[in-house]
């Protein structure tokens, strides 16, 4: 029988995803010319939260609507969508005064590429190891 109380570790995935997004955005802001951040850590976590929300809702919708174009370009159009999502994140963050800026499409494109690579690498490192069980027959 399941307990009716919330598991304290249940939201661990959300926190880990937020930290991974924050780290990836931080690397992009340090490495990519035209992507910058000025401010403290708390507003930066707000930027990472906005990035996650934009990717979850707008990014998913954009990928569904442009699916034929993604197929025709063999998936390369996803990089353009990711760049636009980073640019949208900067626009929303700028409107909220959070200090995250992207200075055009190409910095957004390269920034999104860096964010994708860093978040993929960090996500792979955060995954629990696979356990393989062999059975005798």
* pLDDT tens per residue, range 4-48: 555 554 567 888 889 999 999 999 999 999 999 998 899 999 999
What is the pLDDT, as a whole number, of residue 1? 47
Phi/psi of residue 101, nearest 5 degrees = -130, 145
Q: Which of 96, 100, 65 is nearest to 81 (CA)?
A: 65
| SS3 (DSSP) at 39 | coil
First to last CA, the chain: 33
Q: Are 25 and 44 in contact (CB under 8 A)?
A: yes
Instruction: State the Cα–Cα distance between residues 103 and 57, nearest whole angstrom.
Output: 23
pTM for the full predicted model: 0.82
Domain regions of the chain by residue span: 13-120
Average pLDDT, the chain: 88
What is the biggest distance separating any 2 CA atoms in the chain, rounded to whole angstroms? 63
Query: Residues 111, 83: contact at Cβ < 8 Å?
Result: yes
Does position 134 have pLDDT exceeding 90, yes or no? Answer: no
| Whole-number percent of the chain with pLDDT over 90 | 73
């Amino acid at each position: 029988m399941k307990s009716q109380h919330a598991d304290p570790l249940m939201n661990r995935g959300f926190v880990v995803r937020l930290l991974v997004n924050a780290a990836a955005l931080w690397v992009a802001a340090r490495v990519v010319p035209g992507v910058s951040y000025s401010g403290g850590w708390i507003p930066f976590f707000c930027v990472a939260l906005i990035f996650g929300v934009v990717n979850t809702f707008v990014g998913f919708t954009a990928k569904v609507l442009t699916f034929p174009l993604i197929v025709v370009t063999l998936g390369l159009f996803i990089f353009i969508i990711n760049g636009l999502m980073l640019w949208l994140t900067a626009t929303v963050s700028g409107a909220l005064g959070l200090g995250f800026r992207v200075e055009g499409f190409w910095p957004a494109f390269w920034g999104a590429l860096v964010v994708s690579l860093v978040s993929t690498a960090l996500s792979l490192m955060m995954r629990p190891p696979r356990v393989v069980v062999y059975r005798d027959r």
